[in-house]
């Protein structure tokens, strides 16, 4: 029995338990994966100022994110295809997040649909939107998220075309997987995964299949994205989407201070400093490197959240210290889900919480709002 003490343990288990094409999908960055690696490496290089003899009694991680009370300032990022990491994966993760008291974000490219997830939880979750060429479909997706009482719409701005992930092409990524000899042989070595998949009928993109006329072949994800995602997406679209949605709007994928100013001007409620986990433009700086300038550009005009490379509670504390008001984890929960389903996602949240408690104690912070750049060793 493996004792899981860190997110790396969950990654190793995920690799063992999930068919190669789905593990690789979650684990890959685009092209040389330099940005993917930089996200983790730059965070890890940030050093804390250790402070001692500060009364650490009564520490709490409780705070708010987008006005909602949360157990800690961490949300589950939208991750595509998580219902292929484990049967009904999005439902399991949403339940774990709800029980823990942090927001769950459902991806447009999920397997379980908005309605499936809404029927499985009692509190609102966040919905992530990709903008397709078919604007009627996008409008209907927004309406469905509204009808499901989603509490925030997370509009992703950095994936109108797909950064190439070599392994997805080599593996022939598709959902459901094609029943080739190689795939069958690989799946046969993953009994837990097969068992969970046999318990569910959800194996296609639940938000899309059956909701768009003429969408029958989604077998090649990269080709499908190239055909359906709208390369014309612009700031004007942000305006109509904001109008149609009418609720809290979060803009995901901001890496540049000029775009942060545009985001403020759009009237959205928050932005997420994100390079899509190093999955899009390989060669961008890490999010840890980009975050401080964006926080400074935005000031208190908008909430700044961040993601990218977060593999521990210490990394969450680092992002908060750089100025983020909340942090999204992506691969961390995807690995946990692949490793152990709902219990895995609950476990990863507990690991992060515990590490944050220790980080706060030894840097002399008792509340999330005490966390600031003062907590970090200055680099020059």
Q: Applying CB under 6 A, which residues contact ligand GLV?
A: 80, 109, 159, 276, 279
**Residue 337 Cβ vs ligand GLV, minimum distance, rounded to whole Å:** 16
Greatest pairwise CA separation for the chain in angstroms: 65
Residue 154: CB minimum distance to ligand GLV, A: 12
Nearer to ligand GLV, 70 or 75 (CB): 75
Q: How far apart are CA 129 and CA 138, in angstroms?
A: 8
Cβ atoms of 291 and 324 within 8 Å: the answer is: yes
We find the least distance from the C-beta atom of residue 223 to ligand GLV, in angstroms, to be 14
**Min separation Cβ 66 and ligand GLV, Å:** 22
Smallest distance from ligand GLV to CB 58, Å: 40
> Interior CA angle at 304 toward 301 and 305, to 5°?
160
* Phi/psi of residue 157, nearest 5 degrees: -105, -5
Is residue 195 helix, strand or coil?
helix
The count of other CB atoms within 10 Å of the CB of residue 374 is 13
Which of 166, 211, 261, 276 is labelled catalytic? Answer: 276
Neighbours of 238 (CB within 10 A): 21
347 catalytic per annotation? no
Cβ atoms of 112 and 91 within 8 Å: the answer is: yes
Q: Of 147, 105, 376, which Cα lies nearest the Cα of 250?
A: 105
C-alpha–C-alpha distance, residues 234 and 301, integer Å? 22
Residue that the structure tokens 């046969």 belong to: 188
Looking only at the bridges linking them, the beta strands covering 105-106 and 74-76 are: unpaired
Considering the complex, state which of residue 20 and residue 279 has its C-beta at the smaller distance from ligand GLV.
Answer: 279
Catalytic site residues? 276
């Amino acid at each position: 029995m493996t004792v899981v003490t860190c997110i790396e343990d969950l990654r190793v288990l995920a690799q063992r338990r999930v068919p190669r094409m789905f593990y690789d999908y979650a684990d890959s960055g685009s092209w040389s994966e330099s940005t993917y690696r930089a996200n983790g490496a730059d965070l890890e290089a940030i050093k804390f100022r250790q402070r001692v003899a500060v009364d650490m009694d009564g520490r709490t991680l409780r705070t708010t994110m987008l006005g909602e009370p949360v157990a800690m300032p961490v949300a589950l990022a939208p991750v595509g295809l998580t219902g292929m990491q484990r049967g009904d994966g999005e439902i399991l993760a949403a339940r774990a997040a709800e029980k823990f008291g942090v927001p769950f974000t459902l991806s447009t490219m999920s397997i379980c649909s908005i309605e499936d997830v809404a029927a499985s939880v009692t509190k609102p979750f966040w919905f992530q939107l990709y903008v397709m060429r078919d604007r009627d479909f996008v409008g209907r997706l927004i309406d469905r998220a509204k009808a499901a009482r989603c509490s925030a719409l997370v509009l992703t701005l950095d994936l109108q075309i797909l950064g190439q992930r070599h392994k997805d092409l080599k593996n022939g990524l598709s959902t459901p997987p094609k029943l080739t000899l190689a795939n069958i042989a690989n799946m046969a070595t993953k009994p837990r995964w097969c068992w969970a998949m046999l318990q569910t009928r959800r194996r296609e993109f639940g938000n899309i299949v059956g909701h768009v006329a003429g969408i029958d072949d989604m077998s090649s994800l990269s080709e499908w994205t190239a055909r359906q995602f709208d390369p014309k997406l612009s700031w004007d679209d942000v305006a109509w989407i904001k109008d149609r949605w009418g609720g809290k709007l979060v803009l995901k994928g901001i890496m540049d201070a000029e775009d942060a100013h545009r985001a403020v001007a759009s009237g959205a409620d928050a932005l997420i400093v994100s390079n899509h986990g190093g999955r899009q433009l390989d060669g961008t700086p890490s999010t840890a490197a980009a975050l401080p300038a964006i926080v400074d550009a935005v000031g208190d005009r908008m909430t700044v959240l961040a993601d990218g490379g977060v593999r521990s509670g210490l990394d969450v504390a680092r992002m908060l210290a750089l100025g983020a008001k909340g942090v999204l984890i992506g691969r961390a929960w995807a690995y946990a889900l692949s490793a152990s389903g709902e219990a895995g996602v609950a476990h990863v949240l507990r690991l992060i919480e515990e590490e944050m408690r220790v980080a706060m104690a030894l840097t002399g912070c008792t509340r999330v709002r005490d966390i600031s750049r003062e907590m970090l060793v200055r680099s020059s």
